[in-house]
Structure 1
């Protein structure tokens, strides 16, 4: 693969800091209260949700343009859950992607665009077969 860009970030732990090499990202990390923490910082699930939502939204726009479909204003909300993995007793994540599409795409065309975006989104490709991902068109 011809790498076009590489993001670099360093974390000092799940209860610490995460900083990108260019300084654009510098966040305190904390366990959420649901996992026994104080919640006074972001967490890997929130960061993953933000990245996945941004990437999927971008891919959905690309898919729409390729299909010559005016997508208008679209947004994607990613809900990333963490829980116990029944297979090994460790932790695992799940994702729900809620694609908010304009009314004219609240149909089979919109659903197909979302499915095509899921096929092509780099985050979807990276997680395919590894985590459960539910697609919802709103």
Structure 2
């Protein structure tokens, strides 16, 4: 952990520069190594083809990010990271906001220790 999943409507696929956004959100998470081990960071994007925004009468778009983390981090750390992530997404999407109707949202999901299973040898590379 953490994992960040970015859902976006397909009507912005040519403008969102999703690979760049994924790199930027990973860079944000990597910049907090005392909060998140680098080997556990994963980001992915899901282009949505079936969706409806508002009353459906316009070509509205949205981007929604879900940050999933394991339990046990301080609230102040979670707020700091989420603020940084959201500001990064806002900055990346600023040109889209100036051209079209767009909704941006983000949520934090914190897993409990019960019911979460992980096996990851990527950490070994960073623990040397």
Q: Larger Cα Rg: Structure 1 or Structure 2?
A: 1
| TM-score (normalizing by structure 1) | 0.44
| TM-score (normalizing by structure 2) | 0.46
